Structures are given as C-alpha cells and as structure tokens.
Amino acid sequence: MTSQLSSVFKLLADGFSYPGGENLSPEFFKAVKELARDCGLQTGTMDYGSQELQEEYTRLFINAPGGVAAPPYASVYVAGQGLLMQEGHAQAQEFYSRAGLQLADGQEPADFLPLELAFTAVLLERGDLVLLSEFLEKHLWRWFQVFERRVEASGPHPYYSLLVRLTLFYLNKLKEEVFDETT
C-alpha cells in the first residue's frame, strides 16, 4: 500500500513543479482529479491553459509584486525569518543524508517543496516509516500547514488551491496513520 501512496506523493511533487510538459497533460490532470475524488474534494472540468497556470505559479511561488504568496521553501517558515538556506534547509539536508541521499541536480535548494514531497515518496517506497514519521513530525508537516494557509489566503487559482488541499489531506493521513502509530 505504501507504494500506492508513494505514487501519490510523486504526483504531488510534480504538481508543485513549474507547469510545463508532463504536468500539464490531460493524464496528469486526470490523476489529480481521481485523487481529489478519493478525498472527497470538488473539482471542475480542469481544462486549464498553460499560460494561466504558469502565471499563477510564478505569482504564488517565484516572483510577484508584494512578494510571493507562499515561497515553497521550508527555510522561509522554520525559524528562518523568511530567508532561504536557514534552519529549515539544514533540517531537510539532514534528513536526506540520514536516508543516504543527496539531490541529483543541485540548483534548487534542498528544502524546495517538490523535493520534500519526492523525498516522502522515496521513504514510502522504501517503507522507512520510522524516518518518515520523524521527517513529517519535525519538519514537513510543521511548515506545510503554514504554507497551505498562505496559499489559500492569497486567492489562488482553483488548481493550486486543490493541490495544497490535496497535499494537506494526504499528509494528514500519513500523519495519522504513520507517525501517530510509530510514536
């Protein structure tokens, strides 16, 4: 079962990557839609254009007047005063190295949301629930909740609103089912 969930997190990782290619395909949207249905979340038709999602992704996560709504980096949320490469980044790096892993390509900071979601998928795939529960409890779950609120508060495009809610749902499930039991 963990491998199914692993795919979910891989999907979410790609969903929070910049829209272009695969993650704009009808198949991708279909999978998102199916998952949303599983979670009891409403979705519309989801025939989104690339431009609208790209503009929105840029506004929410890259550069925007007034600052981006929700920088997708742990460091910004974890005692780092809104800066990159602080404590939150060090935490992520520490977890990766405990799993014997490092980033394949080095330009995104280690605490970039898609990387953390992909890391969750790796741990699920490996069945390393001990490390996963710690990763969630001490790190990802903590900051993702704040991140989710900030995205939702910024009047996001329905697609990104759906993605954060979906992620919240699955993280929450993991939290209940994995770490509440391993602790």
Partner 1 sequence: MKRRRFLKLSASACAALAALELKGTGMFRPAAASTGGSTDLPGSLGAKDIPSVCEMCFWRCPIVGKVKNGKLVKIEGNPKSPANDTRVCARGNSGIQLLYDPDRLKYPMKRTGKRGEGKWARISWDEALDEVAHNMKKVVDKHGPHALAYFDHGASAEFMRGVFKALGTENYTNEPAFFQCVGPAALAFIKSMGYITSGTRQYVDMKNAKAILLVASHIGENVHVSHVKEYMEGLDNGAKLVVVDPRFSAPAGKADIYLPIRPGTDTALLLAWMNFIIENGLYDKDFVKNHCTGFDDVKAAVKKCTIEWAAPICDLKAEDMKRAIITLADARPHVAIHPGRHATWYGKGDTSRHQALAILASLFGAVGVPGGLYFPTPVKKAHSECAECGGEPETPDKSIQEDYYPFASMFGSPTSKIIKASRTGDPYPVKLWGINGVNILQTIPNPYHTMEAINKLDFIFCEEILPTETAMWSDIVLPGATYLERFDAVYTYDLLTPYITVRQPMVKSMFETRSSYWIAGQLAKRLGMDCFQRKNIKEIVEEELQGAGLTLESLDKKGGLVPLKANPYRERKDLKFNTDSGKIALSVEDYADEDLDPVPKFIPTPAPPKGFARLIYGRVPVHTFSRTMNNSWLHNEWPENELWLNDEAASKMGLKDGDEVVLENQDGKKSLPIKLKVTPGIRPDVVYMAHGYGCRSKMLTKAFEKGASDQFVITRYENDPFMGASSHRTNFVRIIKGTKVMDIPDLCPLPPQLPRFQLKKGHTAKTGGGK
Contacts with partner 1 in 130-169 (CB under 8 A)? none
Q: Are 110 and 103 in contact (CB under 8 A)?
A: yes
Q: Which two tokens stand for residue 157?
A: 């495009």
DSSP 8-state class, residue 112: B
Maximum Cα interatomic distance, the chain, rounded to a whole number of Å: 45
* Calpha distance 122→143 (Å, rounded): 20
The Cβ of residue 137 has, within 10 Å, a number of other Cβ atoms equal to 16
Residue with tokens 């495009």: 157
Q: Does 48 bind partner 1 (CB under 8 A)?
A: no
Q: Does 40 bind partner 1 (CB under 8 A)?
A: no
Q: Which two tokens stand for residue 42?
A: 């409403």
Q: Does 41 bind partner 1 (CB under 8 A)?
A: no
Q: Which stretch binds partner 1 (CB under 8 A): 41-49, 69-77, 134-142, 144-152?
A: 69-77
Q: Are 129 and 112 in contact (CB under 8 A)?
A: no
Provide the minimum distance between the beta carbon of 5 and partner 1 in the complex, in angstroms, as a whole number: 7
The site that binds partner 1 (CB under 8 A) totals a number of residues, namely 75
Per CB under 8 A, the list member of 45, 63, 79, 155 interacting with partner 1 is 63
Per CB under 8 A, the list member of 93, 138, 145, 175 interacting with partner 1 is 93
Find the length of the chain: 183
DSSP 8-state class, residue 19: S
Q: Are 82 and 68 in contact (CB under 8 A)?
A: no
The contact mask relative to partner 1 for 12-31 (x = CB under 8 A, - = no) is -xx--xx-x-x----xx-xx
Q: Does 82 bind partner 1 (CB under 8 A)?
A: yes
Q: Does 58 bind partner 1 (CB under 8 A)?
A: yes
Per CB under 8 A, the list member of 40, 45, 47, 66 interacting with partner 1 is 66
Provide the minimum distance between the beta carbon of 54 and partner 1 in the complex, in angstroms, as a whole number: 4
The Cβ of residue 94 has, within 10 Å, a number of other Cβ atoms equal to 14
Q: Does 54 bind partner 1 (CB under 8 A)?
A: yes
Q: Which of residues 102-121 bind partner 1 (CB under 8 A)?
A: 102-109, 114-115, 118-119, 121
